[in-house]
């Protein structure tokens, strides 16, 4: 394989704080070891898998290079893994790079012109590519051609360069941010969904087998239930539970061991971590459940606005614990219940918010 290492991407950094990542980079190594190698091993995502299977089989039958593929979905759902599977299924080498790594069109030209025929180019975080690079990519995707600009100023000339046919696999956490001309140039778009608990249980069992960890069905269910629908988080929690089981128990994971371990790491029964609970707690206890502005809420928990908005809120919103309204952030009744608090207007026992309703 051909690696263009760009280090862990931003999306991965974002959810890293869920469970402190191992300082020595064990995380990245283990993650790579746990990646399914082919479509059959890839758990869940039935739709995307079925569609992709057809795209790849048809291309193979034609003896052609597969169409460009766009994968969209939240961090940790398997986009990088799928890109590698696409290459493996096509028997093609893969080159890995990312939008932020390509700042100049020249960077992209260098990569494109060194591709082999049929190679898969994985472009992670494709929505963060620079505009000039993006425009070069349009032509490369459509005509397998780039114009290389030689020289500067009035003397600059564009030299057309033919490219071998290749398959671009783009990944993005925000398909909505892609300009339509770029989106339209992908022959196939796969939307990755959050995983059902039973699917995450299969991920946990599979990873436990690979890590040579003994786990029973209830232990796997406990971990799956706290993994926010995300395989990367399931794998990470499994490793932390394994540590706990080795030190505090006999190495085997069952439900009590999993629950106790995740308690130590402050991941609660619903998968909320410390930051999530801090945000929710502030919203309920200081602001009577809102509405309160994002900046005020961020100051109250001592975090950056962006951290609250991009790291904590998406999950809280998805869980139906918090709503974003034009007037500010508002807690739902489920939020009060989850933190075991009584909304002020009902019981009067809950703390009256400073800016309360
Ligand atoms: N469908 C799946 N089945 C099994 N493991 C998965 C699946 N999707 C993701 N994983 C695991 O989760 C981790 C993160 O996946 P990755 O492809 O890096 O996500 P993304 O690129 O979308 O952020 C990988 O270690 C991989 O082993
Ligand atoms: Mg990735």
Q: Is 76 in the pocket of ligand 1 (CB under 6 A)?
A: yes
Is the domain of 39 the same as that of 180? yes
Structural domain includes residue 357: no
pLDDT above 60 (res 10): no
Question: Bigger pLDDT: 346 or 297?
Answer: 297
pLDDT above 80 (res 68): yes
Structural domain includes residue 5: no
Residue 151's pLDDT is what? 83
CA of 236 to the centre of ligand 2 (A): 15
pLDDT above 50 (res 7): no
Is the domain of 55 the same as that of 183? yes
The answer to the question of whether 34 is labelled as a binding residue is yes
The answer to the question of whether 14 is labelled as a binding residue is no
Structural domain includes residue 346: no
Is the domain of 225 the same as that of 332? no
Is the domain of 87 the same as that of 143? yes
Is the domain of 259 the same as that of 279? no
Q: Is 78 in the pocket of ligand 1 (CB under 6 A)?
A: yes
Is the domain of 38 the same as that of 138? yes
Mean of per-residue pLDDT scores for the chain? 88
Each residue's pLDDT tens digit, 12-50: 444 444 433 443 456 678 888 899 999 999 999 999 999
Residue 240's pLDDT is what? 95
Q: Indicate the residue among 246, 264, 282 that finishes a domain.
A: 264
CA of 280 to the centre of ligand 1 (A): 28
Number of compact structural domains in the chain: 3
Residue 86's pLDDT is what? 96
Question: To test ligand 1's pocket by mutation, which of 75, 76, 94, 207 has the most ligand atoms within 8 angstroms of CB?
Answer: 76
Q: Is 97 in the pocket of ligand 1 (CB under 6 A)?
A: no
Is the domain of 232 the same as that of 182? no
Domain of 284: which CATH number? Answer: 1.10.10.10
Please give the number of the atom of ligand 1 that sits closest to the Cα of 34: 27
Each residue's pLDDT tens digit, 226-269: 999 999 999 999 999 999 999 999 999 999 999 999 999 999 99
Is the domain of 249 the same as that of 291? no
CA of 76 to the centre of ligand 2 (A): 7
Q: Is 72 in the pocket of ligand 1 (CB under 6 A)?
A: no
- Residue nearest atom 27 in ligand 1 by C-alpha distance: 35
pTM: 0.85
Each residue's pLDDT tens digit, 164-221: 999 999 999 888 888 999 999 999 999 999 999 999 999 999 999 999 999 999 999 9
Structural domain includes residue 3: no
Is the domain of 111 the same as that of 241? no
Each residue's pLDDT tens digit, 89-115: 999 999 999 999 998 888 999 999 999
Catalytic residue among 11, 79, 242, 276: 79
Asked if 97 is an active-site residue, the reply is no
Residue 143's pLDDT is what? 92
Residues contacting 236, CB < 8 A, separation 6+: 18, 19, 21, 27
Residues of the chain above pLDDT 70, percent: 89
- Residue nearest atom 25 in ligand 1 by C-alpha distance: 31
Is the domain of 144 the same as that of 55? yes
What average pLDDT does the segment 74-93 reach?
94
Question: Bigger pLDDT: 343 or 350?
Answer: 343
Residue 310's pLDDT is what? 85
Q: Is 27 in the pocket of ligand 1 (CB under 6 A)?
A: no
Catalytic residue among 65, 80, 97, 230: 80
Q: Is 229 in the pocket of ligand 1 (CB under 6 A)?
A: no
CA of 339 to the centre of ligand 1 (A): 31
Residue 25's pLDDT is what? 58
Q: Indicate the residue among 217, 240, 264 that finishes a domain.
A: 264
Is the domain of 135 the same as that of 52? yes
Structural domain includes residue 221: yes
Residue 122's pLDDT is what? 97
pLDDT above 50 (res 6): no
Q: Indicate the residue among 191, 215, 234 that finishes a domain.
A: 191
Q: Is 34 in the pocket of ligand 1 (CB under 6 A)?
A: yes
Structural domain includes residue 97: yes
The answer to the question of whether 185 is labelled as a binding residue is yes
Residue 346's pLDDT is what? 54
Is the domain of 40 the same as that of 160? yes
* Domain extent for 302: 274-338
């Amino acid at each position: 394989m051909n690696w263009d290492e760009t280090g862990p991407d931003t999306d991965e950094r974002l959810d890293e704080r869920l469970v402190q990542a191992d300082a020595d980079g064990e995380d990245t190594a283990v993650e790579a070891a746990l990646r399914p190698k082919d479509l059959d091993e890839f758990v869940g995502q039935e739709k995307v898998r079925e569609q992709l299977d057809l795209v790849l089989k048809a291309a193979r039958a034609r003896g052609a290079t597969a169409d460009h593929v766009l994968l969209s979905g939240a961090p940790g759902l398997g986009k990088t893994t799928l890109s590698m599977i696409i290459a493996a299924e096509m028997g093609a080498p893969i080159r890995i790079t990312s939008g932020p790594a390509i700042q100049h069109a020249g960077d992209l030209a260098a990569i494109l012109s060194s591709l082999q025929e049929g190679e898969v180019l994985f472009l992670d975080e494709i929505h963060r590519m620079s505009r000039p690079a993006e425009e070069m990519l349009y032509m490369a995707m459509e005509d397998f051609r780039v114009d290389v600009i030689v020289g500067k100023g009035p003397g600059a000339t564009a030299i057309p360069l033919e490219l071998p046919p290749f398959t671009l696999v783009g990944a993005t956490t925000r398909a909505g941010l892609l300009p339509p001309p770029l989106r339209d140039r992908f022959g196939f778009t796969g939307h990755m969904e959050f995983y059902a608990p039973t699917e995450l249980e299969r991920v946990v069992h599979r990873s436990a087998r690979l890590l040579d960890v003994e786990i029973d069905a209830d232990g796997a269910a406990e971990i799956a239930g706290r993994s926010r629908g995300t395989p990367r988080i399931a794998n990470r929690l499994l490793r932390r539970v394994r540590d706990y089981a080795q030190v505090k128990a006999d190495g085997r994971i069952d439900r009590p061991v999993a629950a106790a371990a995740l308690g130590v790491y402050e991941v609660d029964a619903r998968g909320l971590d410390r930051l999530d609970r801090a945000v929710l707690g502030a919203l309920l206890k200081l602001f009577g459940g809102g509405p309160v502005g994002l900046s005020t809420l961020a100051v109250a928990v001592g975090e950056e606005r962006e951290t609250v908005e991009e790291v904590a809120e998406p999950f809280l919103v998805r869980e139906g614990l918090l709503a974003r309204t034009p007037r500010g952030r508002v807690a739902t009744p489920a939020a009060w219940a989850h933190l075991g608090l009584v909304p002020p207007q009902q019981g009067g026992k809950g703390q009256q918010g400073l800016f309360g309703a």
